[in-house]
Structure 1
Amino acid sequence: MASVITKKPCLKCDKGAGVTTCDGCQQTFCIKHIIEHRQELTGQLDNVGHEHDLFRQDLMHETSVHPLLVRIDEWERESITKIQVIAETARADLRLLLEQNKTQLKESMDKVTKEMQAGRELDDFTEIDLLRWTEELKHLRELLAAELHVRLIEDPSKSTSVPMIKISEEQGLNSSILRRHDIADYNREGIARVNELFRNFAGKLVLSEGGYVATCIGSYWDGSTVYGTRLYSSGQHEIRFRIDHKGSNDLFFGIKTTSDDLPVRTWTGTCSYGWWEVDQAIESVNGHRVHTDRGVRTGDEITLVLDCENRMIQFEHHRVNTVAHMLVDLRKCPFPWQILVTLRSNGDCVRIIQ
């Protein structure tokens, strides 16, 4: 008896005999449906090709930044800012030493000048005086031409891969005529008493006595403000003032950030902190001012403490034994800080006490 050959039906129509089998899915199709099956596969290939093209476009136009790259950029900016602050502090210290050296030379020269003028007016001098004046002037000229005895040292105490630098005055090399002042000494609380000077100012002011005294020669609306020479970004520092003369308007004592341009008037500044008199604490120096009878007078002494470590400043009025504290928002008033004093009456005079 002849054997019967069984053929698989078409997967699509289930009719007729399948004539071919797909190598991919291992299904059997008739002539009609094998063509449709291939067309479906072609459509799927087109979809895969479309996804391929989209991925290539995304790969070629990738704009997202890796989070670590963002952190590296932040570290770079923060490190540069810290280095710039330390460098500017070193510059300010060096300028202060240079200015003190020049001031002390001038004071020594003025002494010789007065002696010569008195000798001429009174006709009271001899060859000995002439020789002494000649030698003193020669020595002063040598000191003017000589290099200031300071050096640049690295500070190994800073925990950073970039060595920090600062200005240090060399000891044992000072002139017998000139008396150098230390940058700072310390009080019993360990706060550095800073050797400050007035330098830049806005408004109508006169600086005298080598930058230790500031005198207002304008009026209320001139908003005369004077600034210190030093920049502060670390540690605790104390500056003491005496009011040599005060008019009818309040005085301002405080700080500003050096990242802001010097304001012409204190109360229009946006990056300053401090006090109008003793109990009028004003943040950012743009609030409403409150008048009070408890202010400073001629002859009073004021101490301003800059506590950079705790981001705080302190105002002490010694006559009334009053102390006020103020926290500083570093977002508004970032380091480095600089002292500022505002005088608003003609004749107002403030002195830095060393």
Structure 2
Amino acid sequence: MASVKVNRSLCSICGKVPSLSFCVGCERVFCTDHVEQHRLDLSSLLDRIVLEHDQCKQKIIQYTEESKSHPLMKQIDEWEKQSIEKIQQVAVDARKQVLRTFGLFASDAITTMKNLTEELTRAQNNDNFFEKDLRQWMDTLTKVKKELDKPPTISIRKGGSDVPFISKIIINVSDIFDKSAGRISIKDEGKLIVNIGSNGYGTVRSKGEYSTGKHRFRFKIEHTSTHKWNLIGIVSKTTPLQATAYNTLTSFGWIANNFVCLNGKLFANHNGYKSDVDKNDIIELLIDCNQQTIRLTNERTHNTHELTVDIALCPFPWQIQLSLYYSKDRIRLLWR
């Protein structure tokens, strides 16, 4: 009787003993002696990821605690002592702005880590995970750590006041644009907006939202067409984003050709407004939530224009809103 020869793959680790087990995760085969070693290797890698995960959680906790004793808080305290009776509420609002900024910065990381904690706990309890899961978890931790290494830039500046020895303080926060609609692209980590393709409306909104205090922002007009069509202003966060900002309800701001936008309606020469924006101009937008006004200043011409915002028409919180129409037009959000 002829013998039957059976072809069996050799163990992926020792390469000598015929395999008895197949791993669906890495698609390799193992002998009896090494299948358990392979599983121990995977468990060891999971332990490393759990350690990295715990370190990230600790960094978030430390970051949150340190934000409460940030040097900016000491500056606010010193300013408050100099004029406590007149500006105590302003100091409280300023603290809220600083803490809110740090809180918004860490919110995405906190949510991501909460979800990752649940996944890792299930993996440890059920011993149900493979190489693909481990790579995904490690990639998530790497992304979170990179985000935590780039905290928001915040500073304090002093403005004028009715009393000479009392200086108003304004919290300057580095915002970015993170939402868009229409023919527009957000680039350079949220600092640059560019009209893309052929002519067509496109609108962006800021990540930050504003309900109290004063906030200053500066924009550089890196490129504008001969028609110089753009919109700079604010909108209520509650209003859905659309490509045509000038006719969006709750929109307030300034456009080319001497038009002002008030609650999504255009008015020519409102309060004597004359548009003078040109290429390379630096434009400052001041959002004063306490006075319910916004102010636009061209640093080249020194022309300043102010709008009163009816919060019944444009409720808080507000967001910055920019819009472009002509191809290749570009506006950059500057810091300081």
The answer to whether the 8 A contact 1:254-1:341 is kept is yes
The answer to whether the 8 A contact 2:202-2:325 is kept is yes
Determine the structure 1 residue equivalent to 2:156.
185
Query: Structure 2 CA distance, aligned partners of 1:187 and 1:245?
Result: 32
Q: 3-state SS of the aligned residue for 2:242?
A: coil
TM-fit CA distance, 1:345? 0.7
Determine the structure 2 residue equivalent to 1:318.
299
Q: In structure 1, list runs of 5 or more residues that go unmatched.
A: 1-141
Once the two structures are superposed, residues 188-221 of structure 1 have per-residue CA deviations (whole angstroms, 9 ceiling, x without a partner) of 443332201011011111221111111111444x
Determine the structure 2 residue equivalent to 1:55.
none
Determine the structure 1 residue equivalent to 2:36.
none
2:260 to 281, 284, 306: 281
TM-fit CA distance, 1:260? 1.3
Once the two structures are superposed, residues 220-271 of structure 1 have per-residue CA deviations (whole angstroms, 9 ceiling, x without a partner) of 4x31011111000000000110011111242110000011111320122111
The answer to whether the 8 A contact 1:305-1:313 is kept is yes
Determine the structure 1 residue equivalent to 2:224.
246
The answer to whether the 8 A contact 2:152-2:173 is kept is no
1:234 to 208, 212, 218: 212
Pairs aligned (count): 204
Check if 1:151 corresponds to 2:129.
Answer: no
2:202 to 221, 224, 229: 224
The answer to whether the 8 A contact 2:235-2:319 is kept is yes
Distance 1:181 1:335, change over 3 A: closer
Q: 3-state SS of the aligned residue for 1:226?
A: strand
Distance 1:197 1:245, change over 3 A: same
Determine the structure 1 residue equivalent to 2:320.
339
Query: Structure 1 CA distance, aligned partners of 2:269 and 2:325?
Result: 16
Distance 1:263 1:151, change over 3 A: same
The answer to whether the 8 A contact 2:183-2:243 is kept is no
Q: In structure 2, list runs of 5 or more residues that go unmatched.
A: 1-51, 74-87, 106-144, 161-168
Once the two structures are superposed, residues 126-147 of structure 1 have per-residue CA deviations (whole angstroms, 9 ceiling, x without a partner) of xxxxxxxxxxxxxxxx79x835
Determine the structure 2 residue equivalent to 1:271.
250
Q: 3-state SS of the aligned residue for 1:295?
A: coil
2:183 to 168, 192, 204: 204
Q: Which moved more, 1:277-286 or 1:225-234?
A: 277-286
One-letter amino acid matched to 2:64: R
One-letter amino acid matched to 1:197: I
The answer to whether the 8 A contact 1:256-1:273 is kept is yes
Query: Structure 2 CA distance, aligned partners of 1:273 and 1:255?
Result: 5
Distance 1:339 1:179, change over 3 A: closer
One-letter amino acid matched to 2:224: K
Query: Structure 1 CA distance, aligned partners of 2:187 and 2:220?
Result: 15
TM-fit CA distance, 1:277? 4.1
Once the two structures are superposed, residues 278-327 of structure 1 have per-residue CA deviations (whole angstroms, 9 ceiling, x without a partner) of 95332113125569984311100001000000111111111111111111
Q: 3-state SS of the aligned residue for 1:243?
A: strand
Query: Structure 2 CA distance, aligned partners of 1:185 and 1:343?
Result: 31
Q: 3-state SS of the aligned residue for 1:267?
A: helix
TM-fit CA distance, 1:178? 5.3
Determine the structure 2 residue equivalent to 1:36.
none
The answer to whether the 8 A contact 2:257-2:274 is kept is no
Q: CA RMSD in A?
A: 3.8
One-letter amino acid matched to 1:200: K
Distance 1:289 1:225, change over 3 A: farther
One-letter amino acid matched to 1:146: C
Distance 1:345 1:278, change over 3 A: closer
The answer to whether the 8 A contact 2:245-2:264 is kept is yes
Q: Which moved more, 1:333-342 or 1:292-301?
A: 292-301
What's the TM-score once normalised by structure 1's chain length?
0.50
The answer to whether the 8 A contact 1:219-1:344 is kept is no
**Which structure has the greater CA radius of gyration?**
1
* Same amino acid, percent of matched pairs: 24
Distance 1:217 1:289, change over 3 A: farther
The answer to whether the 8 A contact 1:184-1:195 is kept is no
Determine the structure 1 residue equivalent to 2:38.
none
Query: Structure 1 CA distance, aligned partners of 2:218 and 2:260?
Result: 19
Query: Structure 1 CA distance, aligned partners of 2:281 and 2:291?
Result: 27
Query: Structure 2 CA distance, aligned partners of 1:267 and 1:276?
Result: 8
Query: Structure 2 CA distance, aligned partners of 1:201 and 1:258?
Result: 13
Distance 1:316 1:167, change over 3 A: closer
